[in-house]
Amino acid sequence: MKISTKEQMIFVIARLLRGIDHVAVGVSSPVPGSAALLHRRLSPQKTRVTVLNSAGLHNLNDGVSDLFDCAAQGRIGAFSLSGGQIDGQANINLVGIGDYPRQTVRWSGSFGSAFMYFMVPNVILFREEHTRRTMVDTVDFVSAPGVSEPGVWRRGGPVALVTGLAAFSFSATKARFRLESVHKGHSLEEVRDNTGFAFDFAETVPETPAPDPDQLVLLRSEIAQEIADPYPDFAAREFGVRNQIAPTKVRGGG
């Protein structure tokens, strides 16, 4: 079966969630949200998935405030973050392009990204667009740092980066990404040409594993119905599924 770029990313992220018992997802993260629901369905353990802005996928009493409390108490195993820019040290920029505060382009802002980056032990970075515009040598503004100086306490940080071209792991010790696989139809040369930072890679880089056909059917049917609750536009556009449940609005974003 032919798969889309977003579907490939969903399956990569779902594999990265193996062994995680509580996955939290923000209000602007339909790809990681789909991956979390797929992981929950396939996992033998009882996985909890919390999706903000959802009518049926969270039991938070106070939305974002409860989410931050859970993260601070060590009760969230994985979270996902993206950015307008991501650099080679896994710094993300959600503020804008240019010198702060006079950027030529302004984005939505950082909100709780730095807090979650420090508190959640397995943060998966994601961005479908993989170009030198998004994967830069140094971000213009650090909304959340990928690594911290010695003596700075943090429980969490990045473990991987998943894009429309490839999948990377991240070493906090080296403060550096390593290319783990390249998606079907793409190449190492294409990844290097479209990445503004240096990264490690093996002599032979494998192709990203294709999803199991039965799991792809599951994603496009049952998971698509579930993800239509918090992300109706995404479900309609990607899977042709219409939401039957009106989402419950929560304060904040992510």
Percent of all residues in the chain with a pLDDT value above 90, rounded to a whole number: 83
pLDDT at position 68 over 90: yes
Q: DSSP string of the chain?
A: ----HHHHHHHHHHHHTTT-SEEEE-TT-HHHHHHHHHHHHH-SS--EEEETT-SSS---SSTHHHHHHHHHTT---EEEE--SEEETT--EE-SEESSTTS-SEE-S--TTHHHHHHH-SEEEEEES--STTTEESS-SS-SB-SS--TT---S--EEEEEESSEEEEEETTTTEEEEEEE-TT--HHHHHHT-SS--B--SSPPBPPPPPHHHHHHIIIIIHHHHTTT-HHHHHHHH-----SPPPP-SS--
**Predicted pLDDT of residue 1:** 74
**Predicted pLDDT of residue 252:** 39
**Predicted pLDDT of residue 244:** 58
What average pLDDT does this structure show over 233-246?
83
pLDDT range class, residue 251, cuts 50, 70, 90: very low
Q: What is the pLDDT of residues 173-211, one digit of tens each?
A: 999 999 999 999 999 999 999 999 999 999 999 999 999
pTM: 0.93
Q: Quote the mean pLDDT of the chain.
A: 93
What average pLDDT does this structure show over 117-141?
98
CATH value of 5-81+112-129+145-191+199-239 in 3.90.1150.10, 3.30.360.10, 3.20.20.70, 3.40.1080.10: 3.40.1080.10
**Predicted pLDDT of residue 245:** 53
